[in-house]
Structure formats: structure tokens, C-alpha cells
Chain A
Amino acid sequence: MKLLSAQNITHSINDAKLFYNLSFDINSAEALHIRGGNGSGKSTLLRIILGITTPSKGLVELIKPDLKISYLGHKNAVKSYLTPLENLELLFHDAELKHAFKWLDQFGLTNVQDELTANLSFGQQKKLALIRVMAQSSELIVLDEPFVGLDQATADQLKNFLAEKLSEGVGLILTSHIDPMIECIELDLGV
């Protein structure tokens, strides 16, 4: 099932052209891996797909307006003045909250769950941010450099999670410098 369709996406920032006439579809159970050098516009393309950034030209059409999307960008969207526990309680309720606690445990954050998030390490904060994606039920997962800051064990957990979600029919779009080790369609934005 088609989840979204990008048609003739062209985008410039302050007259510098990032990409030109990009068109692609994302279907369920498919993964798109966007590659490119620094400054090639990978993160911008993700934001265009999500509708956060309006492209200079072109259109992104979602199969349905209320498509459930989970997104993790460069910013973690966690509150530094709350504890990990409080951050999760802010985001989730009932069943999803229980699921989130399970991931808190799996990522080894239970022993710091009552510490202020600001006092956690970069990797720990990243794991907390990832729980948003893990615990939320969604039809499309969009990740921008998800493996940055993760230790090998967590990176493997993430890869397994993504592979599992793909097999459940969830669509996936990610940017990554390292090989995500899952079957992907490659989109190279160049240097």
C-alpha cells in the first residue's frame, strides 16, 4: 500500500539549490535510505516529506491526512528539566506508556529514570528520544541519523526493531552514514 508520494521536489535555501525534481513513493513494508554528504540536504528532504518544510517546488502527498508518523530528527524533543520517567509520562498513556517503560528497561535507563534528563549523557538522551519512536504505534517511521551516539548493543536493538516493524508493514525512511543492515531502497543526494 502506498503511504506517500513525492513529486518533482525541488528545493533551494537562500538561492543554493539542494536538489532538483526528486520523485519517489514510499510503500508499507518498504524502507528508503537517503544518503549523501554533509550539507546535501538529507535532513531537509526528511522535513519536506513530513510537511514541516515547504519545498520550493513540488508536492508531497500522503495517502491519508492522518497518517501516523513517528519522527526523530536531530533534536531529541525531550525536556531537559524533567526526568526520563516524567518525559515518558508526558508523551504516553495506558498501554503505550507500559510499552515505553519496557523500552526504558531494555535500553538500561531504569537506574537513571529519576535523574534530570539534562544530567544524562548524549547517548542516554538519544536512547530516551528513541523510546518515542519505539513505543508509539505508527504507520511510517522517519529517522534522521538514528545511530549517532548509540553504543553497539543499542544500535543492534534499533536495527532489530526496524526490521521487525518493516515485517509488520510499517514504512521506513531514514538517513544514516552507516549501513542500516536492513533491506532498503537507496536514494543518493550526492555530495
Chain B
Amino acid sequence: MVRLIKSEIFKLLKKLKSWLGPLLIMILVLIAFPLSIDISQFDLDKFYFSIIVVSILMTSFVATEGMFEEDFEDGSLEQEFLLEKDFYKLALAKIFVFVFLIGIPLALIGAIFSFANGVAFNSFAKVFLILSLSNLLLFNVFAFGNALSINKGAMLGVLSSLPLALPVIILLGSSIRTIQYGDGFISIIALMIGIGLLMSALMPLIISAALKTHID
């Protein structure tokens, strides 16, 4: 497992565009949005969170695109199969590394921008926590979509994973509201942690089944 995590970190950092790209897209969208509207007409801090949520959704999808495709195309999946006989550890390692290297920075960027747009400073940590947890969920969902569609293109990935991602977005929206209205934060965080742990344990199992089917 440590071997896999180390090699995934090494590979992701070497592919700068895969790692830095989503972060830059996120920053671009969050800067572009206020520039594209008449801010005297709109109360920006009321719906800026929605922009952050949608940006997180988009950039998570972009970040995880081709997650398993490269290993499938160059034969690394087969080599991994010979070592471990399934892909549970590989899927777990990949998702963990992607969340850690891309998901957490995305959450940090989102939290910083929300702070810059009227969220109180003491809510910064709450926003960061919520965005990190939702990235954990989203990356699991998109990793699944990627494992199903592997090299068949983004459209199939979207169709496969978006229906699972949207309930996560609904949950994220509800959790943001608990910060805005100061009520129910702990219970929603507990829910997200619970779902996050469950998904993190189960999704690699399902991804492994899908990948095994692909190399069969």
C-alpha cells in the first residue's frame, strides 16, 4: 500500500498539468465570475458559495479524467494485477493521493475565495472542512465513473458518474447553508464523514471489479 501511494504521488507530481491544471481552472473560474456580472446588482456573498460548489464539481471531474486510462493503455494495470490479484489497493491509493494533492488544495482555494467574498473569518475552517469532505466524496464518484468508461471518452464518464455526483452537490449545498445560518453544522459534518468513510471503503471494491472486467 505504501509502495502504491509513493508511486502515485511520484507520478502525479511529474504530470504537472494533471495536478496544477485543475487548481488553476478553479482560480480562473472564481476570479472570472465576479468580473462577468454587474456586482452592483447582486449581493455577491449570498450566492458566491454556489459558484464555488459548481467550480469544485467541474474541476474535480477534470482532475480525475483519465485516472485509470493511462494505466490501462500502457499495460500497468495488468502488471498490478499480477502483483496484487485485484485493484482495491491501487484504487484506494489513487483516490487518496488525488484527494490529498488536488482535492485539499481545491478546498483551500474555495475557502480562501469564500472568505474574500464576505464569509466570516471564523467560518473559514468550517468551509475548508466541508469542501475537503465533499471533494473526498466527489473524487470517489468520479473515480468510479472513470473506471467504468476508462478509455471511452468523457461523455460516458459524465453520464456514469454525474447522477451520483449531484446528490453530493445537494449535500454540499445543505452543508453550506448550515454555516450561513449557524445551525446543524456538526450533524451535517458527521453525515459527510460517515458517507465519506463508507464510500472510501466500498468504492475501491467496485472500481476494482470494473477494472478487472476491462482487462479481462
Contact = CB atoms under 8 A, between A and B. Distances in A.
Q: Are chains A and B touching in the complex at the 8 Å CB cutoff?
A: yes
Interface of A: 47, 50-54, 65, 69, 71, 73-82, 86, 90, 132
9 contacts: A47-B78, A53-B215, A71-B82, A76-B74, A77-B75, A77-B79, A81-B14, A81-B15, A86-B10
Interface in B69-117: 70, 73-76, 78-79, 81-82, 85
B71 to A, nearest CB: 9
A76 B11 contact: no
Which of A65, A79, A86, A132 gathers the greatest number of chain B CB atoms within 10 Å? A79
* Interface residue SS majority, chain B: helix
Given A71-B79, A71-B82, A73-B75, A79 B216 contact: no
A71 to B, nearest CB: 6
B14 A77 contact: no
B174 interface: no
Given A73-B75, A75-B74, A90-B7, A82 B14 contact: yes
Contacts of A78: 74
A158 B78 CA distance: 22
Contacts of A51: 81, 85
Interface string B21-38: 000000000000000000
Interface string B175-216: 000000000000000000000000000000000000000011
A73 B78 contact: yes
Interface string B55-74: 00000000000000010011
B81 A52 contact: yes
B216 A90 contact: no
Contacts of B215: 52-53
Contact of B75 (A65, A75, A81, A86): A75
A75 B85 contact: no
Given A52-B215, A53-B216, A90-B11, A79 B78 contact: no
Contacts of B75: 73-77
A79 B81 contact: no
